[in-house]
Amino acid sequence: MPKGQTQFAPQNGIMHGFANPARFLRIATWLTPLLLVSGLVLGMGALGWAWFNYPPDRLMGDSVKILPLHVATAWLGMGGWMSIAIASLVELVWRHPLAAIAARASAVPGAVFTFVCLATGSIWGRPTWGTWWVWDGRLTSMLVLLFLYFGYIALSGALAREGASTRIAAIFGLVGAINIPIINRSVVWWNSLHQPPSITMGNSAIDPAFLYPLLICTLGFSLLFGGVVLARMRTILAEVQAEARLRRKAMQAAEGF
């Protein structure tokens, strides 16, 4: 986007900034279906492979089949908030008009991934640990992430409805990012029922038979996340443009009289 276009008068809200987000839309038009289809194929393929071909684990047996779904959604749940935080930083510093839209668009898919992670973890915990839920560091901090998503979705939605500045949501997105390293370190700092990390810098304690479907599933879910974010960005842009057009028409009609 040319430099001059990123500046806009605050009283006009975000309407002015992307009166012409043409280049983004041109790319998103073909990139969205590409990401959605390839993400679905890779993600569902990896999950199907795990379901039918995972060998039983030495201790937990067939319940290890849930591993790729649980771990990939956990990573994407945290990755979703990281993309909110990065987009918020870009919005606050560079005032890029698409950044606020990207942050808002990342919230719902991120929350869905976090919810799936918590649900599959609970289902996995019953046969493995002998309990659906415990309040240890990892589980609690992940639940906090889900509540942060709910708060962010409510806040950004309310700001958009009232036409208020999206910078409040951006600050919330940045402050909430403090939870991500806490989730990551929770099993290292504190004794927890949840296992310590299986995959650390360059090393994996997960057998290749279990690992590769997990990595492919993560790639697929990442593409899927990108596709959903682009689709939601286009929707938000269309809504904003429709509203701007309505306002312009109303102004013209008022001037006509």
For binding to other proteins (CB under 8 A), which residues are involved? Answer: 55-61, 64, 67, 89, 92-95, 127-131, 134-137, 174-175, 178, 181-182, 185, 189-193, 195-199, 202-211
In whole angstroms, the minimum distance from the beta carbon of 131 to other proteins comes to 6
Evaluate whether 226 touches 35 at the Cβ level (below 8 Å).
yes
Cβ proximity to other proteins: between 9 and 59 the closer is 59
Report the alpha-carbon distance of residue 105 to residue 153 in Å, rounded.
9
In whole angstroms, the minimum distance from the beta carbon of 252 to other proteins comes to 35
In whole angstroms, the minimum distance from the beta carbon of 207 to other proteins comes to 4
**Single-letter amino acid, residue 187:** V
Cβ proximity to other proteins: between 175 and 250 the closer is 175
The residue with tokens 């640990």 is: 129
In whole angstroms, the minimum distance from the beta carbon of 243 to other proteins comes to 28
- CA–centroid distance for 209 within its chain: 28
Cβ proximity to other proteins: between 16 and 185 the closer is 185
Report the alpha-carbon distance of residue 91 to residue 94 in Å, rounded.
6
Evaluate whether 157 touches 163 at the Cβ level (below 8 Å).
no
Beta-bridge partner residues of 61: 57
In whole angstroms, the minimum distance from the beta carbon of 159 to other proteins comes to 19
SS3 199: strand
Is the sign of the CA dihedral 29, 32, 37, 42 positive or negative? Answer: positive
Cβ proximity to other proteins: between 12 and 200 the closer is 200
Cβ proximity to other proteins: between 154 and 205 the closer is 205
Of 206, 172, 159, 192, nearest to 81 by C-alpha is 172
In whole angstroms, the minimum distance from the beta carbon of 210 to other proteins comes to 5
Cβ proximity to other proteins: between 142 and 228 the closer is 142
Residues 142, 144, 148, 150, Cα dihedral to 10°: 90
